[in-house]
Structure formats: C-alpha cells, structure tokens
Amino acid sequence: MLIKLACILLIGVGVGHLGLGVIYVTADEFMSYHSQALGVEWESLNTSYQTLLLALIHLSGAGAVVAAVVNLYFSGAALFKNDLQHVWLAPVVALAYQLTANYVVYSVAKGTPGEPPLVLTSFGSLVLLSGSLLLASCLFAARKSSRVT
C-alpha cells in the first residue's frame, strides 16, 4: 500500500512537471517574473534577446517534459502493472530536474527583483522528496525481506 502512495506522489510531481513543461515549451514570451527580474517588458527587447530568452525558456520546458514523461512512465508502470524493476528511475530523473529548477528559481528570487514561484517550487520539492523517500524505504524493505526468505 505504501508503494502505491509513493507512486501516486511521484505521479503528482510528474503531472506538475508536465504542466510546467507545456507552459514553457509553448510560451511566446517570458513570464511576468522574468520581466520583474530583468526590469524590462518583453516588447522593449530587441529580437535577438527575445530569441535567446525564448530558446532558454523552451529548453527549460523541454527538460520538464522529459522528466515528466520518464517519471509518469515508470511510476505508472509500478502503480498499474506492479512493475517495480525500473521504478527507481522516476525519482532520480524527477529529482535531477527539480534540483535544477530549485537552484534557478532560488537564484532568481535572491539575485533579482523578480518574484518567481518559490513557494510552488518548494511544495513540489517536498512532495517529490516525500514520494522518493517512501519509495526508497519500500524498495529497501522489499529487497531485505526477499533476502531473508
């Protein structure tokens, strides 16, 4: 039962990453907190800066989509097919993306006047950490019990 809860938490994070990724991949300009951070409006940037910034935003979104797809695939396989062989990849990939996102969001929050979604990013990190630790403890307990018998 606990492993199902862990997978549900990881799937929740995957859905969040997918939503964020789709927003960023389909963006046609930067977000309001990007404007705050830079102290300029999108329209005032020349096309070279717009192209560069939009490419970086799309890259970030693509990373979120990739992390989400891996997470959702392996967490879903564990939850719905009871396939635990590669479930550990879900939190590993999600953590790699989330740690990078945390660093970027925190850097923008501390180093600029921008107000990125620090609370939302932190909440996602807590859910991911909870699901990851729960999954790890379940997998460790299952491995330990299979050695005993």
Compute the mean pLDDT over every residue in the chain, rounded to the nearest whole number: 94
Percent of the chain with pLDDT over 90: 89
Instruction: Give the orientation angle of helix 2-25 with respect to helix 118-148, to 10 degrees.
Output: 140
Residue 72 has pLDDT above 60, yes or no: yes
Alpha-helical (H) ranges within 82-117 are: 89-111
- Residue range 107-143, pLDDT digits in tens: 999 999 999 999 999 999 999 999 999 999 998 888 8
Split into its structural domains, the chain has a count of 1
Q: pTM (2 decimals)?
A: 0.90
- Structural domain for 83, as ranges: 2-148
